[in-house]
């Protein structure tokens, strides 16, 4: 007759199992002690951020910047570790929150200055122009146009010299030239790129140079047409036209060369409604007060 007998566990195996249980229990206790100690240490007042120093603000309130950083470092990670611990605070997240919340900031840097202090250095954008909407019709299609285009926007927005539209302008900020043209990402939340820095910087520099060198005053508006034509409007209905891809320095040289040519000798920009530089070494122009339009060939 077959059968089965359960043999008692050997004393050696029992001792090994007991030692493993004791070891695991000891490791667990050590883990809890170390974890608890680290948690208590992370909450030690000597390691908690108390003060935030803000530098670089010009138009923004220091309290606004400080408040956003304090909001970001408030609370705990997993309800355990404090975010305002000098070794654990979310530096990158605080910088991102500043830039996302305050479009007028160009840069933001958060750094620890001591065990209980952090410093926040910001750099605000500097306006170079106003973006006042896009055109419903391409006002650049005709060289004779001198009026500003119809806009789809009801407000103007500040544009820095990197081409970023970043804040709505107020009535005291109307000293800047007004930019008209299609906006990449129009309807999106600001900040948004209007045109590249490589386009905006030379364009604004050209508008200043044309006004200063010819005593016609500051540019009132700049129309970036969707067909590739750019117009700079000056006081007294004087307009300079050129292609959007033209080099700004080349445009300025051709402009000065045209005024010094034998055909236009003795005339100033005050005599013209527009000077059209879109056609290489040929200049098209229209004189004011019923004078004839004409063409001037370059060298």
Same domain, 207 and 176: yes
Q: Is 265 exposed, middle or buried (0-12, 13-18, 19+ CB in 10 A)?
A: exposed
Q: Is 276 exposed, middle or buried (0-12, 13-18, 19+ CB in 10 A)?
A: buried
Q: How many domains does the chain have?
A: 2
259-287: average pLDDT: 86
Whether residue 25 is contained in a domain is answered as no
Same domain, 93 and 149: no
Same domain, 105 and 184: no
The token pair that represents 128 in the structure block? 């170079």
Same domain, 118 and 231: no
Whether residue 73 is contained in a domain is answered as yes
Same domain, 146 and 224: yes
CATH number of the domain within which 167 lies: 3.40.50.11690
Whether residue 55 is contained in a domain is answered as yes
Residue 239: its pLDDT value, please?
93
Per-residue model confidence as pLDDT tens digits over 97-106: 999 999 999 9
Same domain, 146 and 273: yes
State the pLDDT confidence band at 93, using cuts at 50, 70 and 90: very high
State the pLDDT confidence band at 150, using cuts at 50, 70 and 90: very low
Same domain, 167 and 60: no
Same domain, 184 and 142: yes
Q: In this structure, are residues 231 and 220 in contact, taking their beta carbons and an 8 Å threshold?
A: no
Final residue in a domain of this structure, among 68, 98, 124 = 124
pTM of the model as a whole: 0.73
Burial 167-188 (b: 16+ CB within 10 A, else e): bebeeeeeebbbbbbebeeeee
Same domain, 260 and 142: yes
41-68: average pLDDT: 95
Final residue in a domain of this structure, among 124, 146, 169 = 124
Helix axes 62-72, 91-101, angle to 10 degrees: 130
262-282: average pLDDT: 85
Same domain, 167 and 281: yes
10-15: average pLDDT: 74
Final residue in a domain of this structure, among 97, 124, 151 = 124
Same domain, 110 and 210: no
33-55: average pLDDT: 89
CATH number of the domain within which 102 lies: 3.10.20.310
Same domain, 134 and 258: yes
Whether residue 140 is contained in a domain is answered as yes
Structural domain containing residue 117: 45-124
217-227: average pLDDT: 88
Whether residue 19 is contained in a domain is answered as no
State the pLDDT confidence band at 146, using cuts at 50, 70 and 90: very low
Whether residue 2 is contained in a domain is answered as no
- Lowest average pLDDT, out of 33-47, 124-138, 220-234, 274-288, goes to 124-138
């Amino acid at each position: 007759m077959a059968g089965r007998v359960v043999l008692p566990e050997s004393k050696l195996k029992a001792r090994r199992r007991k030692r493993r249980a004791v070891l695991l229990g000891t490791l667990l206790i050590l883990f809890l002690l170390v974890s608890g100690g680290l948690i208590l240490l992370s909450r030690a007042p000597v390691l908690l951020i108390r003060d935030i120093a803000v530098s670089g603000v010009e138009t923004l309130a220091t309290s606004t910047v400080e408040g956003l950083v304090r909001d970001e470092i408030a609370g705990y990670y997993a309800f355990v570790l404090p975010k305002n611990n000098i070794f654990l605070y979310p530096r990158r997240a605080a910088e991102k929150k500043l830039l996302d919340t305050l479009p007028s900031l160009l840069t933001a840097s958060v750094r620890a200055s001591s065990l209980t202090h952090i410093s926040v250095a910001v750099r605000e954008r500097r306006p170079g122009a106003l973006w006042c909407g896009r055109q419903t019709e391409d006002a650049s299609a005709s060289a004779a146009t001198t009026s500003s285009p119809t806009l789809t926007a009801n407000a103007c927005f500040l544009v820095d010299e990197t081409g970023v539209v970043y804040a709505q302008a107020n009535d005291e900020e109307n000293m800047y030239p007004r930019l008209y043209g299609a906006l990449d990402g129009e309807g999106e939340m600001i900040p948004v790129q209007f045109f590249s820095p490589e386009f905006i910087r030379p364009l604004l520099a050209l508008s200043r140079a044309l006004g200063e060198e010819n005593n016609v005053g500051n540019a009132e508006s700049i129309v970036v047409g969707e067909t590739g034509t750019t117009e700079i409007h000056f006081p007294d209905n004087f307009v300079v036209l050129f292609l959007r891809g033209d080099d700004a320095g080349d445009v300025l040289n051709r402009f000065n060369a045209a005024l010094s040519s034998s055909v236009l000798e003795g005339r100033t920009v005050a005599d013209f409604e527009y000077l059209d530089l879109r056609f290489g070494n040929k200049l098209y122009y229209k004189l004011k007060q019923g004078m004839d339009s004409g063409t001037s060939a370059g060298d």
